[in-house]
Chain A
Amino acid sequence: MKKDFAIILALLLLPLLLRSSFIVSVATMAVVYSILSLSWFFMEKEAGWTSLVHSIPFGIAAYALAINPVLIIPAFLLSLLLFTALSLSGREKFVFTSFITAIVFWYFSHYITLSVNGGVVGGEEGFSFLSIGLWESYLLSSSMLLLFFTSFALIRKSGLGLKIEAVRDDEFAARSIGINAFKIRIVSFAISVFTATVAGVCYLLYFGHVSPEIFSVEIVLLPFVASLIAGNRWASPIIGSYIIVVVSRAFSGILPETHLLIYAAVLMLSPKLKRWWGASAY
């Protein structure tokens, strides 16, 4: 864990040392997506739920903040309710029910409009919000990333972490020793959803604009792919997010589909990658 922390710290400090606006802009994007991927990784590795719906808390938070900051709390609660409802179908079905829900939400997000001063805003165009600036965004997102990374390490060592792991490994056995498995499931979802919500807030504060693309398949799959390409450590989703952002930036002028082809390859090889990373961890 200390090694992971050192890697992340180095990744976060590097752009500050180089002091290039371009590098910081790329790094900010990577950090925001890292928070999202970390929230996904917590739910996958710690709680044992593979989600393809993290785009919803991420996107709803950004939309809520853009429309009215008061809506952030209902947005968080709505996402948590959605996760809980989807989980009722069981761990295995959660994978595809969550994916279909995410896609349906993407379609409907095109119809989110508001009537402002007699005109209609939103829809395909999305909503705008005042960006806090590049360096401020970077510092805010980096701080959040470090905060969540440390918090997750502490949660894992706490009694709550052990309970979450017990429910992950065997829900029936956990119940037999007095653990309220459903409550623990909701708590683990709440932690993950809250982290994704914060990632959505950081996203809007940096970009200053949110559109339906925040719910797209790319965002749906990003945490999954990011967490698989760089191993099975707690730093993996963060390193993976950096790789995806850097690769898509590098190839955006030559072959814009590059990162999606990488997504496809990772998805197709996902069971093998999981086993490979799992085996190399021992």
Chain B
Amino acid sequence: MISALLTAIFLSFFASAVILNYKIGRLLNLSFASIFTLGAYIYFSFNPTSALLLALIFGGIMGAIVSAATRKLSVAEATIISLGFSIAIEESLRFLYRTSYYQVMETNYVELFGEVVSIHEMLNGAMIVLLFLAFAAIPLSRRGFELKFVEDDWELAEMYGVDTSRIRFLTISISSSFICLSGAVLAPTQSLFPSMGWSSMVIAVIIAAIAALAGNAGLRKYGLTIPIAIAYTAVLRWLL
């Protein structure tokens, strides 16, 4: 139950990043799939502390490049370019590592509400929750109001003094940075292969699509990703 909840929080975080990029960046950022994978590979290539920092930096750089490459394009064109980036990262990882492997970390277990959970999973879960809260804080920040305006009508926001291209750039870069970091954080509990990010990506898009049916600007649709993700993981547990 607890690990399902942690998975749901991660998916909700991923879906929120997808929504934010769609609403502000005007693209379905498919590069997230490989940026997540990149984070996981960084974790296995460096020591944990520097890996987290590097994941944050590399994710941000990738996001900045995607943002710059998709400026002033239609949603469809920008989405296709982000898919190109995703494949480029994925194939580069395949070329560089040549192998996929499954890493089992040694860990201790604790009993929590009658359920045995690994400490590693708990720590990762806590980090993902922190990441999610940091992410949720963006719309609540001082710039949150402008963000809300850009979500609803970016041209109108631009007309009234909001630098929408800067907001777009920061949104894509920061969210990519967080996605890469989440890849690094979750790496010890995952099996690593170059296309590992796609399953999370596809589920996140589906959750985002259902949540976005709420249709309004503001926090509600991000909040909605949580119950949808919980419902998804519950259904999955029931099926399996």
Verify whether A and B have any Cβ pair under 8 Å: yes
Give chain A's interface residues, CB within 8 Å of chain B: 50, 91-93, 95-96, 99-100, 103-104, 107, 217, 221, 224, 255, 257, 260-261, 263-271
Min CB–CB distance A180 → chain B (angstroms): 25
Docked-complex contact A107 and B88, CB < 8 angstroms: no
Interface of B is mostly: helix
A267's partner among B84, B199, B202 (CB-CB below 8 A) is: B84
Chain A residues closer than 8 Å to B77, beta-carbon distance: 270-271
Docked-complex contact B73 and A261, CB < 8 angstroms: no
**Total inter-chain residue pairs, C-beta < 8 Å:** 71
B91's partner among A91, A99, A261 (CB-CB below 8 A) is: A261
Q: Count chain A CB atoms within 10 A of each CB in B75, B88, B94 and give the residue with the most.
A: B88
Query: B79: CB under 8 A from chain A?
Result: yes
Chain B residues closer than 8 Å to A100, beta-carbon distance: 202, 205-206
Docked-complex contact A92 and B76, CB < 8 angstroms: yes
Docked-complex contact B74 and A92, CB < 8 angstroms: yes
The list of the 7 closest CB pairs from A to B, nearest first, reads A267-B84, A268-B84, A264-B88, A95-B76, A264-B87, A257-B91, A96-B28
Docked-complex contact A268 and B85, CB < 8 angstroms: yes
A99's partner among B69, B73, B83, B95 (CB-CB below 8 A) is: B83
Interface of A is mostly: helix
- A270 with B87: in contact, given A92-B75, A107-B199 (CB under 8 Å)? no
A265's partner among B30, B84, B95 (CB-CB below 8 A) is: B84
Q: A147 vs B26: C-alpha distance in the bound complex, in angstroms?
A: 41
Docked-complex contact B84 and A266, CB < 8 angstroms: yes
Give chain B's interface residues, CB within 8 Å of chain A: 28, 30, 69, 73-77, 79-81, 83-85, 87-88, 90-91, 94-95, 198-199, 202, 205-206
Docked-complex contact B94 and A270, CB < 8 angstroms: no
- A-B contacts, 12 listed (Cβ < 8 Å): A92-B74, A95-B75, A95-B80, A100-B206, A224-B80, A257-B91, A260-B91, A261-B87, A264-B88, A264-B91, A270-B81, A271-B73
Q: A40 vs B74: C-alpha distance in the bound complex, in angstroms?
A: 20
Docked-complex contact A267 and B87, CB < 8 angstroms: yes
Q: A119 vs B81: C-alpha distance in the bound complex, in angstroms?
A: 44
Docked-complex contact B94 and A257, CB < 8 angstroms: yes
Min CB–CB distance A12 → chain B (angstroms): 31
Docked-complex contact B199 and A270, CB < 8 angstroms: no
B88's partner among A50, A91, A95, A268 (CB-CB below 8 A) is: A268
Among residues of B, the one whose C-beta sits closest to the C-beta of A261 is B91
